[in-house]
Chain A
Amino acid sequence: MDFILSPWPWYVAGPLITFVVFLLFFFGKKFGVSSNLENICALGGAGKLVDFFKFDWKKNTWNLLFVVGLVIGGFISGQWLTPDVAIVLDNPQTVTDLSELGFQNIGAQYLPEEIFGTETMFSLKGFLILLIAGIFVGFGSRYAGGCTSGHAIVGLSNLELPSLVSVIGFFIGGILTTWIILPLIF
């Protein structure tokens, strides 16, 4: 029980992720979360505005159910499986860097209050940061043809060059935000 409740190390998580990939292909499907963004748009009637979304989203019901599972899995783990929500940061430099940006209670919970707190999300700046971050993720993943699941996990595992290029792109973008944009907005 102790093992279940303490944070799982990388060498447990990585192979378990692959197990989920195995399950989905074994079920005759594929593994890619970001295509659900399109499925949800189509379900919501986006086909009235953009022809692409006129596709039959019902044939992707299985993938939407996977997302329903993600929400339930998040709920279960939040309620019962993570009694300690503190993130133990291995490198003291991370704490120093975030303190310099003005962050407080670093690692006290999964998410920093400075970006995700209720008070922050209802401020104009906080709201825009969350919305714009989402827009970039949604736009970028569909433009690149996949996100971390489709490109970084499946594509790299299948030795696909477009996925390697995409993952390099993910890192260029991520480094730009972390090293340049975050210090500008905080």
Chain B
Amino acid sequence: MKNLKFILAGVLFGIILSKAEVISWYRIYEMFKFQSFHMYGVIGSAVVTGMVLFYFFRKGTIKTMDGKQIEIEPKKKGYRNIIGGILFGLGWALAGACPGPMFILLGRGAISFAIVIIGALFGAFLYHAVKSKIPH
């Protein structure tokens, strides 16, 4: 039962992204066309409120439910960020969905996303198969 909370967090996240239409291909298209503020508003307000949250995480004001200091893994740094980022963006704009929305859309009954998810799994697999041969 202690794992139920993670399912509930996922349900909540799925509902939020669904209700804010963030999972719509059109919202991603108009974002990359700079034709609407909506997606910038969603990501921007999440980041601004997130900055406050992470400030309190780092300061130790907010702790985990077990009373431990919240640990934030530092991100991996290098050419990987820009190259991987561009490859991700190419796919994001085509599918109109990043990894979270893919699963939310599948849950909504968009079966075409089963193909996108299979592709994404294969992509992650492929990365680890070739990572020693590509620049990081």
The CA-CA distance from A34 to B68 in the complex, in Å, is 26
CA separation between A152 and B31, bound complex, in Å?
15
- Between B84, B129, B131, the greatest number of chain A beta carbons within 10 A of the residue's beta carbon is seen for B84
B16 with A13: CB separation less than 8 A = yes
Contact B45 A37 (CB under 8 A): no
Asked whether, in the complex, the Cβ of B119 is within 8 Å of the Cβ of A132, the reply is yes
Please provide the 5 A-B residue pairs with the shortest distance between their CB atoms, ordered closest to farther.
A69-B10, A169-B85, A73-B14, A134-B119, A173-B89
Q: Which A residues are in CB contact (< 8 Å) with B83? A: 143-144, 169
- By a CB distance below 8 angstroms, the chain B residues around A160 are 74-75
Q: Name, among A26, A69, A182, the residue most crowded by chain B CB atoms within 10 Å (CB to CB).
A: A69
Instruction: Give chain A interface residues in 134-158, CB to chain B under 8 Å.
Output: 134-158
Q: Tell me which of B10, B41, B100, B113 contacts A148 (CB under 8 A).
A: B100
> Interface digits, B1-19 against A, CB 8 Å rule (1 contact, 0 not)?
0010111111111111111
Asked if B50 and A18 make an inter-chain contact with CB atoms under 8 angstroms apart, the answer reads yes
Determine how close the nearest CB of chain A comes to the CB of B37; give it in whole angstroms.
7
Closest CB in chain B relative to A85 CB, distance in Å: 9
CB-nearest residue of chain A to B22: A13
Contact with A along B59-100 (1 / 0, CB 8 A): 000101110101011111110111111111111111111111
Q: Mark A58-82, 1 if CB is under 8 A from B, else 0.
A: 0001110111111111111110011
Contacts A77-B19, A94-B35 given; indicate if A142 touches B128 (C-beta within 8 A): yes
Q: A residues within 8 A CB of B116? A: 130-131, 133-134, 137
Please report whether the interface of chain A is mostly helix, strand, loop or mixed according to DSSP: helix
CB-defined interface of A76-116 with B at 8 Å, one 1/0 digit per residue? 11100110000101110110011000000011001110011
Q: Report A63 CB to chain B, min CB distance, Å.
A: 7
Judged by a CB distance under 8 angstroms, whether A159 is at the interface is yes
Main secondary structure of the interface of B (DSSP, over half): helix
Rounded to whole angstroms, the CA-CA distance of A94 and B25 in the bound complex is: 12
A153 touches B93 (CB 8 A): no
Query: Which among B51, B76, B93, B124 is the interface contact of A173 at CB below 8 angstroms?
Result: B93
Separation in Å of the A17 CB from the closest CB of chain B?
Answer: 4
Q: How far is the CB of B97 from chain A (nearest CB, A)?
A: 8
Q: Which residues of A contact B81 (CB under 8 A)?
A: 144-145, 162-163, 165-166, 169
Chain A positions within 8 Å of B105 at CB level? 74, 110-111
The answer for the CA separation of A178 and B31 in the assembled complex, in Å, is 10
Closest-by-CB residue of B relative to A121 is: B112
Contact B30 A154 (CB under 8 A): no
Partner among B76, B82, B117 whose Cβ is within 8 Å of the Cβ of A134: B117
Out of A9, A78, A148, name the residue touching B18 (CB < 8 Å).
Answer: A78
Is A57 engaged at the interface, CB distance under 8 Å to the other chain?
A: no
Contact (A50, B115) CB under 8 Å given A71-B103, A138-B123: no
